[in-house]
């Protein structure tokens, strides 16, 4: 029979556990009930910053790969520099080929069936549409994003002879009300009725001066970018969409055990995704209904950000890869989502499941009867100059890609 003192001690212990669970999270609550030894073991795994030597090595490798990809440029239709970087980062045994759409193909294994992975090389940006009489450049967007994020920022014009520095000029109006009324400039000697648009200024002051820099209509324009490490395993930069997908494919290929493959696997690094999935569409037409599945590796545009509503696309940064069950371009068959989740559990790979906006390259295969099982990682501030990722999510995506290739 319990005494009043024993009852009070048990009640006090329960209150303490509940207080600690509130402070430290549900994992603490689970292990606190099974004693101090379990608590030590679990917290040694969960504590941030405590990585094994092997994990440290893998994080360092992932950081090197994604940094080199992010710092390579490749606006849609101008993917040459990043394509060269991808080829340099592939394992020595890989035998990459390039098709007429500019896609990079790496095939592993032999025989049927065929499983396809695809991640896109290109990034959002601009192209030059005209050179004005005042030397400034008219632009067209390549991809969907808010151009206001670029106003008053440095610019780079990627010419056939090298990179020319310039500036994204603030627009003369925002919405219907102009902030000021500038003189109407000329294009080809005629009044420019689009004078309130978005432009780039290389600082020449004349059409001839800009022409002398080697700038031509059709040249790509970007903002300068750099991979920047944040606290822990977080990083910020521009074009993580879809350089993380490319990095995951490269990391998976480096560790893929071809002896475990019972079929053929094709890794595609595609072009012009941001302007209509054009590279993947070309590849899908060539492959037709041959693949049994396609896995697009692309951004999961997450609501894990301070100002976002958490009822949609709420995959948390740092909690692992994401299965895109539904997006604007495709719906993954529920049985395949369940099978993917079972594979991730068996391999102890953290996996989230969610719905998000946007499309993915895999949807171009569905017209041929090929299921699209898109996977990705949570990204904050998508298509901005300061996207945010967690390298642990990149490793989870690479591990999931390898597991699918070897065991599914």
Give the pLDDT confidence of 104-149 residue by residue, as tens digits.
Answer: 999 999 989 999 999 999 999 999 999 999 999 999 999 988 888 8
Q: How far apart are CA 378 and CA 374, in angstroms?
A: 13
CA atoms within 13 A on the CB side of 112: 4
Q: Would you say 239 and 382 are in contact if contact means Cβ atoms under 8 Å apart?
A: no
CA distance 96 to 108: 10
* Cβ neighbours of residue 341 closer than 8 Å, sequence gap 6 or more: 323, 351, 353
pLDDT tens series, the chain, 408 aa:
444 444 444 444 443 443 443 333 333 333 233 333 332 222 223 334 456 777 889 999 999 999 999 999 999 999 999 999 999 999 999 999 999 999 999 999 998 999 999 999 999 999 999 999 999 999 999 998 888 889 999 999 999 999 999 999 987 655 544 443 334 334 444 443 333 478 999 999 999 999 999 999 999 999 999 999 999 999 999 999 999 999 999 999 999 988 888 899 999 999 999 999 999 999 999 999 999 999 999 998 888 887 777 777 888 999 999 998 888 888 899 999 999 999 999 999 999 998 888 889 999 999 999 999 999 999 999 999 999 999 999 999 999 999 999 988
CA distance 113 to 370: 12
The residues of the chain that CATH labels 2.40.30.40 are 125-222
At 73 the pLDDT is: 97
pTM: 0.81
Where in the chain are all domains bearing CATH 3.40.630.10?
A: 53-123+238-407
Cα-based angle 59, 125, 196 (whole degrees, multiple of 5): 145
Q: What kind of architecture, by CATH, is found in domain 53-123+238-407?
A: 3-Layer(aba) Sandwich (3.40)
- Alpha-helical regions (H) of 166-305: 207-212, 240-255, 278-287
Go through 148-184 and write b for each residue having 16 or more CB atoms within 10 A of its CB, e for each that does not.
eebeeeebbbbeeeeebebbbbebeeeeeeeeeeeee
Q: Between β-strands 228-229 and 162-169, what pairing exists: parallel, antiparallel or unpaired? A: unpaired
The yes or no reply on domain 125-222 and CATH 2.60.40.10 is no
């Amino acid at each position: 029979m319990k005494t009043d003192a024993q009852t009070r001690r048990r009640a006090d212990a329960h209150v303490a556990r509940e207080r600690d669970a509130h402070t430290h999270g549900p994992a603490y609550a689970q292990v606190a009930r099974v004693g101090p030894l379990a608590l030590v073991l679990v917290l040694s795994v969960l504590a941030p910053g405590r990585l094994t030597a092997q994990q440290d090595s893998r994080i360092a490798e992932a950081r090197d790969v994604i940094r080199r990809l992010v710092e390579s440029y490749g606006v849609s239709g101008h993917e040459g520099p990043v394509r060269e970087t991808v080829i340099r980062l592939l394992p020595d045994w890989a035998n990459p080929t390039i098709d007429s759409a500019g896609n990079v193909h790496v095939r592993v294994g032999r025989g049927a069936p065929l499983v396809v992975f695809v991640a896109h090389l290109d990034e959002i940006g601009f192209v030059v549409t005209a050179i004005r009489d005042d030397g400034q450049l008219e632009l067209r967007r390549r991809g969907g994003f808010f151009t206001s994020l670029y106003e008053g920022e440095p610019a780079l014009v990627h010419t056939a002879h090298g990179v020319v520095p310039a500036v994204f000029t603030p627009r003369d109006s925002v919405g219907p009300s102009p902030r000021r009324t500038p003189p109407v400039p000329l294009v080809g000697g005629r009044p420019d009725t689009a004078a309130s648009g978005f432009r780039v200024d290389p600082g020449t002051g004349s059409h001839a001066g800009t022409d002398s820099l080697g700038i031509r209509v059709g040249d790509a324009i970007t903002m300068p970018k750099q991979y920047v490490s944040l606290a822990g395993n977080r990083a910020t930069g521009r074009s993580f969409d879809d350089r993380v997908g490319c990095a995951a494919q490269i990391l998976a290929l480096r560790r893929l055990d071809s002896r475990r493959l019972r079929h053929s696997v094709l890794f595609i690094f595609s072009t012009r995704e941001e302007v209509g999935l054009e590279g993947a569409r070309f590849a899908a037409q060539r492959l037709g209904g041959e693949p049994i599945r396609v896995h697009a590796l692309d951004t999961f545009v997450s609501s894990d950000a301070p100002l976002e509503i958490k009822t949609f696309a709420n995959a948390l940064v740092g909690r692992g890869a994401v299965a895109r069950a539904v997006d604007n371009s495709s719906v993954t068959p529920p049985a395949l989502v369940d099978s993917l989740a079972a594979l991730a559990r068996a391999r102890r790979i953290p996996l989230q499941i969610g719905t998000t906006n946007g499309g993915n390259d895999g949807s171009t295969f569905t017209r041929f009867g090929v299921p699209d099982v898109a996977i990705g990682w949570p990204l904050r501030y998508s298509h901005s100059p300061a996207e945010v990722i967690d390298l642990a999510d990149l490793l989870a995506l690479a591990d999931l890609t390898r597991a699918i290739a070897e065991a599914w």
